[in-house]
């Protein structure tokens, strides 16, 4: 069975597999193709059961992963609705006057002359910000919920019908309609004559 499985996955034919099994096991008689067919049928059944089991595990794991993402998105959505205070900083420039360095008698400033001195002041302001939530989180949550429902098979299969223009059948049934020359317009007659002349020219 291991040899059959290996060679089948390599795309070998039933006859090639039979020859290979006979040679590897050094059998005195060649293995029949019927035996190989039976082995392949049994292998396909085992693979199908394994795939179904693995598929169920994958779906459960994927649903758990989706649930975790949805929980995180809901938490982020709640945080995005929290109001907060925004602190802004700016610089103010100005100047103030100080006494001149010249001293009068007695070692004290004369107080008669003052000079401007520049300064830079840091000013903070607070602003209350009201949040109504980031709708991007809701959009992602909705997509994950749809994906989760599809994983669990909650949606009915999509039914699609291909139609022609304006909902008409793609291959409409032909009807026997007789059109007389009198019913054609001048443009239609001119087109018909051109087609006939081209056909006659090819016939010559």
Give the Cα separation of 99 and 115 in Å (integer).
6
Higher pLDDT, 103 or 47: 47
pLDDT value at position 168? 67
pLDDT value at position 160? 61
**pTM confidence score:** 0.42
- Establish if 93 belongs to a structural domain: yes
Provide the pLDDT confidence category of residue 17 given band limits of 50, 70 and 90. Answer: very high
Provide the pLDDT confidence category of residue 73 given band limits of 50, 70 and 90. Answer: very high
- Establish if 136 belongs to a structural domain: no
pLDDT value at position 23? 93
- Look up the domain containing 13 and give its range: 2-77
Residue ranges of E strands in 14-170: 84-99, 114-129
- Establish if 61 belongs to a structural domain: yes
pLDDT value at position 25? 92
Percent of the chain with pLDDT over 90: 17
Average confidence score pLDDT of the chain: 78
Single out the residue of 48, 50, 37, 124 nearest to residue 89, CA to CA.
Answer: 124
Q: What is the mean pLDDT of the segment spanning 64-79?
A: 90
pLDDT greater than 70 at residue 113: no
Structural domains in the chain (count): 2
pLDDT value at position 22? 93
Give the Cα separation of 137 and 72 in Å (integer).
10
Residues 32 and 68 in one domain: yes
Higher pLDDT, 72 or 154: 72
- Establish if 15 belongs to a structural domain: yes
- Establish if 63 belongs to a structural domain: yes
| Helix axes 33-80 and 14-24, enclosed angle (nearest 10) | 110
Provide the pLDDT confidence category of residue 101 given band limits of 50, 70 and 90. Answer: low
Single out the residue of 119, 120, 99, 121 nearest to residue 110, CA to CA.
Answer: 99
| Helix axes 2-9 and 14-24, enclosed angle (nearest 10) | 140
Single out the residue of 102, 128, 98, 139 nearest to residue 115, CA to CA.
Answer: 98
- Establish if 166 belongs to a structural domain: no
């Amino acid at each position: 069975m291991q040899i059959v499985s290996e060679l089948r996955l390599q795309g070998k034919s039933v006859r090639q597999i039979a020859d290979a099994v006979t040679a590897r096991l050094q059998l005195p008689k060649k293995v029949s193709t019927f035996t190989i067919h039976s082995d392949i049928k049994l292998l396909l059944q085992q693979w199908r059961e394994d795939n179904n089991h693995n598929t169920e595990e994958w779906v459960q794991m994927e649903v758990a992963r989706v649930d975790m993402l949805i929980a995180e998105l809901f938490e982020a959505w709640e945080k995005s609705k929290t109001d907060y205070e925004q602190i802004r900083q700016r610089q103010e420039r100005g100047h103030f006057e100080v006494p001149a360095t010249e001293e009068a008698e007695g070692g004290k400033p004369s107080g008669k002359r003052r000079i401007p001195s520049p300064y830079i002041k840091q000013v903070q302001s607070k602003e209350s910000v009201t949040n109504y939530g980031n709708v991007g989180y809701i959009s992602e949550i909705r997509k994950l919920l749809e994906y989760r429902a599809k994983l669990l098979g909650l949606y009915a299969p999509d039914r699609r019908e291909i139609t022609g223009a304006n909902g008409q059948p793609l291959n409409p049934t032909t009807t026997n309609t007789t059109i007389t020359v009198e019913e054609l317009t001048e443009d239609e007659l001119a087109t018909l004559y051109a087609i006939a002349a081209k056909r006659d020219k090819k016939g010559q």
